[in-house]
Amino acid sequence: MNRTGLILAITVVLASNIFVLIGVSGNRSGVPFETIELTERELTLQSQPKDDSGISLYLNWKQPTTEQLPSGRARDAHFDSVKLQELGVQLQLSGRLRIARKIPSAPRGLRSLRV
Amino acid sequence: MSEPTGKREAQRKVERIRAFREQLGELVREGVLDLSPDQSAKLDVHLNKTLSELAERFDVDVSDSQKQISLGMLILSTLGGLAFCAGVFLFFYRYWGLISTPAQVGILILTPILALIAMNFASRREKTLYYTLLIGLVAFASFIMNMTVLGSIFNITPSQNAFLAWGVFALALAYPYRFRLLLAAGVICLVIYAAAALTAWSGASWVACAERPEFFLLMALAAVLVPVIVRHRKLSDFAGVYRLVGLLFLFAALFMLMHGSQMSMLPFGRKTIQSIYQIMAFVAAGAAIWLGIRHRLPDTVNLGSAFFAVFLFDRLVYWWWDWMPRYLFFFILGLIAVGLLAVFRKIRTRMAGVRTP
């Protein structure tokens, strides 16, 4: 067996994880600017298969329907960081978030918002 | 006779020896060839020795029954691998929510590393490498799971860099063990990464790379050219993998551009772009067939022929389906098929003429 391949593969695994975890720690290093307390009203438990023990939290938001938009197409880009700031959410814009603003999936940029 | 460098080549050599023996027996029976008992015994000893050496070195199948058992083992190992992966997935699915986040991260990192160590261990104990491939696939799948689940836990913005890591990982496993399946997976990941990176550099989100087939076109061409630039003398099977994966991306990108001119970055009108890519698609498929015949690459010829037929059928439907009666359309389609058969028959006859001295 070629040990170089094994070492390279392990290095790739470790380097990728370190890279991701450094990003995660940087992302979580800030002080939360807002704390939201969620009650059972918001956190309704949905029925889960017996074999699924995972817990997920999703943020749902409403957006204009197709009929409400003049262009005739629903675009969640309306709910971008500018709109969020108008609504009172203070976003710490990182370079990546600024790019994310152009993307239809902009709410993914809510990396610095802790719940 | 040249020494085989891999199991596939060794198996081909075994097939040649078996065919030679059958033909020799037939010639002796027909009285065309008359070998003395001494010559016959010497030939048998030599061929048996070659077969046993090949079986010892590459663990090839030297009989039909062995071949059938090997096929059964391959199917069994694939099914076993799938069942094993499903078992691991369902196990974590059942208990994942009860594990703390640091432990989850630890499990995600350790799973591919442990699979790699197990793969190395298995490769030292078997010649067939069935289990090694199986564990290699588990290692690759667990590394994909590692990055995906980590991103999900910490809500990380998806990035094209994951494809780079997966691609390098797959190549690092494919080259030492000569695994074509992992090489194909690695090349696919790297082509996606490069196309996504170009899309990101062009100012769009990398996710939009699927709407920029021209970047895939460039990267597919690069993949096809890899075996031309980097000669794989000892890994002769690998050149075909690069070529086929590259051609698949190339033809798929051309097919998309033939239909969706709005996805192109060329500064021309819609009709012009469509015409350019329609011509390019037929030229590319034709070139693949021609180069495949010239360099004796049957896989390339088959892929080129298949896409040529797809492009042709697509165009015929686009041009004629609406205004032509259905019976006439299919009649013309049949005539075109007959015409193509005549062309291929001519090429086949010419090739047979070249081969026969």
Q: What is the ipTM of this complex?
A: 0.78
Mean pLDDT, range B82-96, rounded to an integer: 83
Query: Which of A12, A17, A52 minimises the CB distance to B168?
Result: A12
The larger pLDDT score, comparing residue B14 to residue B162, is at: B162
Hey, is the C-beta of A111 within 8 angstroms of any chain B C-beta? Answer: yes
How distant is the Cα of A101 from the closest Cα of chain B, in angstroms?
Answer: 10
Tracing tokens 């391949």 back to the chain, one arrives at A5
Query: Which of A17, A19, A27 minimises the CB distance to B109?
Result: A17
Burial class of residue B98 (count of CB atoms within 10 Å of its CB; 0-12, 13-18, 19+): exposed
- Rounded to the nearest 10 degrees, the angle between the axes of helix B101-125 and helix A3-28 is 170
What is the pTM for the complete model shown?
0.75
Cβ-Cβ contacts under 8 Å, A19 against chain B: 161
Cα B135 from Cα B85, distance rounded (Å): 10
pLDDT of B351 strictly over 70: no
Please name the residues between 79 and 108 in chain A that touch chain B, using a CB distance below 8 Å: 96, 99-100, 102-103, 105, 108
What is the DSSP code (8-state) at residue B234? S
**In this predicted structure, what is the pLDDT of residue A106?**
37
Specify the range with the lowest mean pLDDT, choosing from B122-131, B188-197, B201-210, B272-281. B122-131
Hey, is the C-beta of B98 within 8 angstroms of any chain A C-beta? Answer: yes
Residue B109 pLDDT class (50, 70, 90 cuts) = very high
Nearest chain B residue to A48 by CA: give it: B94
Q: If you average pLDDT over every residue of chain A, what do you get? A: 69
Burial class of residue B187 (count of CB atoms within 10 Å of its CB; 0-12, 13-18, 19+): buried
**In this predicted structure, what is the pLDDT of residue B116?**
94
Residue B75 pLDDT class (50, 70, 90 cuts) = confident
What are the residues whose beta carbons fall under 8 Å from the beta carbon of A27, sequence distance 6 or more? A111, A112, B154, B156
Mean pLDDT, range B251-279, rounded to an integer: 89
**In this predicted structure, what is the pLDDT of residue B106?**
95
To the nearest whole percent, how much of chain B has pLDDT over 90? 32
Specify the range with the lowest mean pLDDT, choosing from A61-65, A71-75, B79-83, B166-170. A71-75
Query: Which of B139, B156, B176 minimises the CB distance to A20?
Result: B156
**In this predicted structure, what is the pLDDT of residue B282?**
92
The larger pLDDT score, comparing residue A94 to residue B21, is at: B21
Torsion of CA B256, B261, B265, B268, to 10 degrees: 150
Query: Which of B146, B172, B207 minimises the CB distance to A5?
Result: B172
**In this predicted structure, what is the pLDDT of residue A103?**
35
To the nearest whole percent, how much of chain A has pLDDT over 70? 57
**In this predicted structure, what is the pLDDT of residue A102?**
36
Phi-psi region of B178 (alpha: psi -120 to 50; beta: other; left: phi over 0): left
What are the residues whose beta carbons fall under 8 Å from the beta carbon of B87, sequence distance 6 or more? none
pLDDT tens track for B276-309: 999 999 999 999 988 988 888 888 988 998 999 8
CB B6 within 8 A of CB B237: yes
Hey, is the C-beta of B124 within 8 angstroms of any chain A C-beta? Answer: yes
**In this predicted structure, what is the pLDDT of residue B245?**
95
Residue B96 pLDDT class (50, 70, 90 cuts) = confident
**In this predicted structure, what is the pLDDT of residue A110?**
41
Cα B103 from Cα B33, distance rounded (Å): 74
pLDDT of B212 strictly over 70: yes
